[in-house]
Amino acid sequence: MARFARQAIADIPYHVINRGNNHQTIFFRIADYQFFLDALESAKEKYLCKIYSFILMPNHIHLLLESVKEGGYLANFMKYISQRHGQYINKRYNRTGTLWEGRFKSCPISTDRYLLACSRYIEMNCVRAGIVKSPEEYEFSSYRAKIGLKELEWLDLDPMYLSLEDTPKERQKRYHQWTRESIPEGEWDTVRRTIQRNWALGNDKFTREIENILGRRFEIKKAGRKHKIG
């Protein structure tokens, strides 16, 4: 299963997740989160990946990435940030051993309503975990930048986010409103299951295309009704 997480196709967004080994803490202080954010910016320049969404949770991370070239860029991106952060944590806290649980999980996402749904799933993780009541209260995610409360020059804007409105302020307001709309039944469960199994997240046409490229089948039933985004 893990080898499919490394077969990243260029110009297709990927939902990526990695956890602390045995669900252990990977961020202990604010400085640890900042070190990781700096590593993300550095990795983006080095391995030519766009960063559309992210959240850094105390014991795991979610990223929405897109490689701009074919090859192992996404895998090298993840290796780079994982190694840098692992070495940093071990040195700072005088610890030894593996920080991460192992190979990251990933799934390709179609550039349509599923991409927005995945961003919402990622950025609402802090709310689902009960850390905050609203996503804008959480400092270590892409959400605050997307609604205009924070500047992140290295954060990329995905095509679906850009399509929401014509101007930056209008997009920020619309995205803020959209994240507060009711979540379609089964949406979060579908996002969760696809990333757990390294499956594709998208419509049937997209899923079949990815299956043909990777030479494997994805067996998943789309839960819930379709939800119009716009």
Check pLDDT > 90 for residue 89: yes
Check pLDDT > 80 for residue 1: no
What backbone torsions phi and psi does residue 57 show, to the nearest 5 degrees? -100, 160
3-state secondary structure of 51: strand
Tokens for 188? 């979060």
Determine the residue type at 188: W
- Distance (Å, rounded) from C-alpha 66 to C-alpha 49? 5
Q: Among residues of the chain, what percentage have pLDDT more than 90?
A: 74
- Distance (Å, rounded) from C-alpha 208 to C-alpha 193? 18
- The residue-averaged pLDDT of 125-129 equals 96
The predicted pLDDT at position 219 comes to 61
Check pLDDT > 80 for residue 91: yes
pTM summary value: 0.89
- 46-60 burial string, b = 16+ CB within 10 Å, else e? ebbbbbbbbbbbbeb
Closest CA to 73 of 115, 100, 109, 44: 44
Fold adopted by 2-203: Alpha-Beta Plaits (3.30.70)
Which has more confidence, 229 or 90? 90
Tokens for 90? 């071990």
Closest CA to 118 of 28, 206, 22, 211: 206
CB proximity list for 110: less than 8 A, separation 6 or greater: 200, 201, 202, 203, 206
- The residue-averaged pLDDT of 70-79 equals 90
